[in-house]
């Protein structure tokens, strides 16, 4: 996963999460578990992601949030999909119903909250919902992740999707498709909250440990 004009470490300094809560603490613990399973020090993971050991330490302790771009880079460095950052180990479920209140969630910085919809045994794609506060975004920079196909569908509000040097204003019901290798970014430019759905196929990081790290 590549950040265009990286500012990952600014997440911890300039854009702390609005509220440090249980979701932030759980995310930090999962990051720590994954890092330790790979026998990586804070410094080694920092070198792999182009961040600092202090930034990763703050993430693991639940003291700060991270942009969507940052989370993609952490997942790639640890060899898992972003989905693996969402929940604790659990037995896969074959039941098809997922209540809104049961969605595994990751609190991110920059006014965006990301939740996971896709579940095992579906392994060919990942589906996420992004909820944006007014002015919220996936982060200050365009980013890439892997070489897959991504569709974004606006289910509420108005967002601007940047693809390279082009920008597209999308309203409720609109959609856009692009390669995940294309630098991209999403921002809520409306006067109210916005919500989008991301559908990614295939998943853009190694998924060999999803069954161990995702609660379905």
- Based on the domain organization, do 76 and 111 belong to the same domain? no
- Based on the domain organization, do 52 and 112 belong to the same domain? no
SS3 call for 3: strand
Assess if residue 147 is contained within a domain: yes
Assess if residue 47 is contained within a domain: yes
Assess if residue 119 is contained within a domain: yes
Question: What was the pLDDT predicted at 76?
Answer: 84
Range of the domain at 126: 100-201
Q: State the pTM of this model.
A: 0.63
SS3 call for 131: strand
Last residue of a domain, one of 59, 87, 115: 87
The number of CA neighbours under 13 Å toward the Cβ of 170 is 28
- Based on the domain organization, do 69 and 161 belong to the same domain? no
CB 44 within 8 A of CB 88: no
Question: What was the pLDDT predicted at 207?
Answer: 41
- Based on the domain organization, do 193 and 113 belong to the same domain? yes
Q: Predicted confidence band at 21 (pLDDT cuts at 50, 70, 90)?
A: low
Report the CATH number at residue 122: 2.60.120.10
pLDDT digits (tens, 9 = 90+) for 114-136: 888 887 655 688 899 999 999 99
- β 149-156/175-179 pair status: antiparallel
Residue 148 has pLDDT above 70, yes or no: yes
Query: Rounded to an integer, what distance in angstroms lies between the CA atom of residue 100 and that of residue 200?
Result: 20
- Based on the domain organization, do 109 and 48 belong to the same domain? no
- Based on the domain organization, do 65 and 123 belong to the same domain? no
**If you ran DSSP here, which 8-state letter would residue 141 be given?**
S
Helix (H) or strand (E) holding 212: helix 210-213
- In the predicted model, what is the mean pLDDT of the chain? 80
Report the CATH number at residue 17: 1.10.260.40
Write the secondary structure of 54-119 as one string of H (helix), E (strand) and C (coil).
HHHHHHHCCCCCCCHHHHHHHHHHHCCCHHHHCCCCCCCCCCCCCCHHHCCEEECCCCEEEEECCC
- Based on the domain organization, do 41 and 119 belong to the same domain? no
pLDDT digits (tens, 9 = 90+) for 61-99: 888 877 777 888 888 888 887 777 765 544 455 567 777
- Based on the domain organization, do 82 and 112 belong to the same domain? no
pLDDT digits (tens, 9 = 90+) for 1-19: 455 544 444 444 334 444 4
- Based on the domain organization, do 68 and 106 belong to the same domain? no
Query: Rounded to an integer, what distance in angstroms lies between the CA atom of residue 203 and that of residue 81?
Result: 7
């Amino acid at each position: 996963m590549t950040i265009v004009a990286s500012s990952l470490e600014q997440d911890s300094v300039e854009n702390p999460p609005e509220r440090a809560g249980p979701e932030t603490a759980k995310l930090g613990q999962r990051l720590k578990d994954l890092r330790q399973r790979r026998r990586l020090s804070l410094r080694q993971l920092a070198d792999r992601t182009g961040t600092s050991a202090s930034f990763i330490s703050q993430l693991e302790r639940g003291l700060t949030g991270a942009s969507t771009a940052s989370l993609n880079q952490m997942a790639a460095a640890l060899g898992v999909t972003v989905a693996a950052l969402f929940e604790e180990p659990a037995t896969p479920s074959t039941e098809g119903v997922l209540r809104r209140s049961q969605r595994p969630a990751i609190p991110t910085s920059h006014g965006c909250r990301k939740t996971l919809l896709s579940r095992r045994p579906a392994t060919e794609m990942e589906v996420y919902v992004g909820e944006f506060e007014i002015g919220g975004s996936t982060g200050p920079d365009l980013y890439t992740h892997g070489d897959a196909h991504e569709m974004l569908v606006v289910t509420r509000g108005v967002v601007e999707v940047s693809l390279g040097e082009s920008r597209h204003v999308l309203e409720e019901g609109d959609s856009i498709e692009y390669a995940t290798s294309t630098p991209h970014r999403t921002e809520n430019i409306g006067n109210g909250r916005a919500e989008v759905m991301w559908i990614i196929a295939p998943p853009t990081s190694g998924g060999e440990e999803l069954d161990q790290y995702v609660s379905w």
